[in-house]
Structure 1
Amino acid sequence: MRRLLPAPWLSLALFAGWMLLTRSFSPGQALLGAAAAVAIPALLASLRPRPAPLKRPGVLLRLVLRVGRDVVRSGLRVALGVLRARHQPPRGAFVTVPLDLRDEHALAALAMITSVIPGSIWSELAADRSRLLIHVFDLDDEAAFIAHYKADYEQPLKEIFE
């Protein structure tokens, strides 16, 4: 069964997506959707990354809640910064954050977190994965930003994945 459906959830999502996109529930479309749902994951199985190790689900839950809180707070800060930009322009800056993370799953999660938080953009990862360049929309204190980033995002990801 595993050889026929190497990623059953992906197959189910592909089938559902096919049926929704075609807006037809005819037997022919269902057959085409099923063929795509079986063939695509089987053909792309070698490209899928290895499963991520998840060691501390409680830390993951706290991280998700923290990121949600920071998305709301940063969204409000960016909105206020845009509204007052005429009188007080934002102090955008590039910040180099030293990294302790090495796991590719943790780095991918860190990239997603950085990208989803308004006012921050993941710009570059050093080839040796030791430094990360981030652009920050409005930066007051670089050292405080680095400390916050490492403590609130990097450290929990390190606990979860490494």
Structure 2
Amino acid sequence: MKRWLPSLPLTLTVIAFWMVMVADLSLLQWLFAVLLGLVIPLFAARLDREFARIGRLRLVPKMLGILLWDVVMCNIEVARLVLGRETRITPGFIWLPLEIANIHGIATLTSFITLTPGTVTAALSEDRKYLLVHVLNLKDADALIADIKRRYEVPLMEIFP
């Protein structure tokens, strides 16, 4: 049974999401949802998964506060740049060296960077040691790298050891 239905919760989730997305309760859509719900978990079971290890959760509220502050402040900065002279904008890419090794921590870091206006993560190196980040207004790459590490990466290494 486990071979043909590796994860009942995943099967039910796929069926439910499909039905919500199509918003059509016809028999054909139900049959297709069940087919997807049976096939997708078969492939997902073959993926090499890394399970999240969670460390100190006491830092989560502080991290969310820092992120919220940064989003607000960066929105103001991006608005000033966009409404100002175009010559003041100096876009660029940086390679951010990573100390965090946990893939879930890296994913959270990339989300934080991308959620902050004016920056977006573009790539993760094959060895997971560097993150390519595009910056709307790059003035001092070293200062930006130090800031990202201090504000996001170091606390995330405690949350995701």
What range describes the TM-score normalised by the shorter chain of this pair?
A: 0.7 to 0.9
In angstroms, what is the RMSD of aligned CA positions? 2.8
Q: Structure 1 regions of 5+ residues with no counterpart?
A: none
The Cα shift of 1:2 comes to 6.8
SS state of the match for residue 96, structure 2?
strand
> Could you tell me how far 1:125 is from its partner in structure 2?
4.1
In structure 1, what is the Cα distance between the partners aligned to 2:38 and 2:135? 43
Tell me the residue number matched to 1:160: 159
Query: Aligned partners of 2:125, 2:18: CA distance in 1, in Å?
Result: 39
Q: 2:95 and 2:29 mapped to 1: Cα distance?
A: 51
Match of 1:6 in 2: 7
1:47 is paired with a residue whose SS is: coil
Which position in structure 2 is the counterpart of 1:22? 22
The equivalent residue for 2:99 is 100
Give the drift of 1:71: 2.1
Cα distance between partner residues in 2 of 1:32 and 1:98: 45
Q: Is the alpha carbon distance of 1:27 and 1:156 closer, same or farther for their aligned partners in structure 2, counting shifts above 3 Å?
A: same
Q: Does 1:71 align with 2:71?
A: yes
Q: 1:1-162 to 2 correspondence within 5 Å?
A: 4=5, 6=7, 8=9, 10-47=10-47, 49-86=49-86, 89-162=88-161
- Mark the CA change 1:30 to 1:113 in structure 2 (over 3 Å): closer, same or farther: same
Percent sequence identity over matched residues? 33
Q: What per-residue deviation string (whole Å, max 9, x for no partner) do you get for residues 65-118 of structure 1?
A: 3223322221221121010024x5213233343321122222222222222222
Residue 157 of structure 1 deviates from its aligned partner by 1.5
By how many angstroms is 1:6 displaced? 2.0
* Alpha-carbon offset, residue 127 of structure 1: 4.8
User: How many residues matched?
Assistant: 160
Q: Residues 130 and 17 (structure 1 numbering): CA distance in 2 closer, same or farther, change over 3 Å?
A: closer
8 A Cα contact 2:6 2:45, kept in partner: no
Counterparts in 2 of 1:16 and 1:142: CA distance versus 1, 3 Å: same
Q: In the superposition, relative to structure 1, how do residues 74 and 7 fare at CA in structure 2: closer, same or farther (>3 Å)?
A: farther
Distance 1:58 1:11, change over 3 A: farther
Distance 2:91 2:26 in 1: 54
- Give the SS at the match of 1:51: coil
Secondary structure in structure 2 of the residue aligned to 1:109: helix
Cα distance in structure 2, aligned partners of 1:7 and 1:116: 33
